[in-house]
Amino acid sequence: MIAKRVHAGKWGILQIINMGTLMATLDVGIVNVSLPTIAGQFSSSLAQIQWITTAYLLTMVALLPFLGKLSDVWDRRKIYSYGFVVFSLGSLCIALSQGMASIILSRCLQGIGATMIMANSQAMVRQVFPDHERGRALGMNAIFISVGTLSGPAIGGLLLEFISWPWLFWINVPIGLAAFVLGIRWFPGSESRGVKTKIDIIGSFLLALAVCLLMLAAESSKGEAGLTPAILFEGISGLSLIVILWLYERHIAYGILDRELFSHRDILLGNMSSFLINLAQMATMIPITFYLQRELSLSTWVTGALLVLQPLLMGFVAPFAGAFRDRYGAFFPITIGPLFCALSMLSVACFHQVSAFSISLQLALFGVGIGLFHATNNAEIMSSAPESKSSLAGSLLALIRYLGQIAGIGLATALVGSMGFHPGAEASSSIPLRILFWICFLCCLGVATMGWFRRQSKRVIKENKYTNRSAKL
């Protein structure tokens, strides 16, 4: 009886998952638009106001693996659903805040709720949808990622014309509570709970501290002209803790970096591919934004319109890529997608003069590439993970995405960090800019090469489809 109810409502369940995705992506854009207004009200400096964004991100990257592991041991459905309550409570506290300290603390609470949602969203898709439908479901989810990314700043800017900034957070409260009620009623319970094992507290702490240091270095580098001693200290400390964590995890069987997951070829190659694609995306996005405004003297409106190309095409292509994967296998999208991304890098690296056209071509080709790749790659990873560890697999996938973005920011800072901070810096950055795009070209080409080692995915999916059809007969 329960299985019938879950099967009948799986597309409705997906809409709740999409609602959580939309809330998380919308919130980032809306908050960024409201920062100048909040800073003016509380007479805060840029360094202080940036913590509203940084605190949220740090909370997520610190807690993702821990909450993923916890969700596999406890009831995934409750942790996911109560994440909406915590997120709504954090939004409520921000709306009622009377000072910067309370806003930042409330953003941490909001980040905990977002992490409870993000750590389980991929696992919920895996639990509800059979393998031959997961690509389509995750492709539809990519539409909401794209819509949230695109519309967040626009909606925030429009609303601020008519209402005060606290209402941007009040909006989350009824939406989050509605999602909680529907989630508790519709989400299925875990059919097989994870084995009651110890929680790797030490490993979780080391990983959280390492990733936080790396993210702090990345966030600091956005406002600096190159690598400063403070940024180098944070980056080296974070990498050192990663090494210590790896040495520690080798001696325990219940580590936060699960050996079973990363011993699986598709999971290992899928996460490596995700890291490199996200590195290339972030490493090129930051200098492109500066180049359009400083070197080509384009207005912020025109710059924003050009940058929209990437998420717009990603949201358009992803559902078709997911459906293709479900029917014919993953080999084509996870190989051709990165080739599109690699080709996009050549439009900047090889052009004699970097123009608005070449940048537009790069953004468009990369958008098509990640649209083909992301939903397909996520579906492959989640299908390969054991059911008892699907939340941990999903949370580590999200963490790998953040680590790739952090590495991309660091790479861009190291090569073209002075761009936009000194007059004439763009001209002197021409060669380093091309070197950056050549490095990202090699990263994307490496992801395409990894796709060749995952060719068995097509055969496995066809066998699963045959098994599912036979079971229905």
Quick one: how far is CA 325 from the chain centroid? 21
Q: Which amino acid is at 427?
A: A
- Return the ∠ at Cα 342 (arms to 223 and 295), rounded to 5°: 40
Query: Tell me, what's the pLDDT at 285?
Result: 84
The whole-number pLDDT of residue 341 equals 96
Please name the residue that has the structure tokens 């919920």: 124
Residue 190 confidence (pLDDT): 61
Residue 195: CB partners within 8 Å, gap ≥ 6?
73, 388
pLDDT per 10-residue tile (average), the chain, 473 residues: 48 85 78 80 77 84 87 85 94 91 92 90 86 86 77 73 85 89 79 60 86 80 65 87 88 77 85 93 84 77 81 89 89 93 91 83 93 90 86 87 84 71 50 89 94 62 47 47
| Nearest residue to 208 (alpha-carbon basis) of 392, 59, 394, 86 | 59
Residue 344: its pLDDT value, please? 94
User: Rounded to an integer, what distance in angstroms lies between the CA atom of residue 463 and that of residue 465?
Assistant: 5
Residue 49: the pLDDT is 80
Return the pLDDT at 96. Answer: 93
pLDDT the model gives residue 91: 93
Distance, CA of 345 to CA of 322 (rounded, Å): 24
| pLDDT recorded at residue 223 | 59
3-state secondary structure of 273: helix
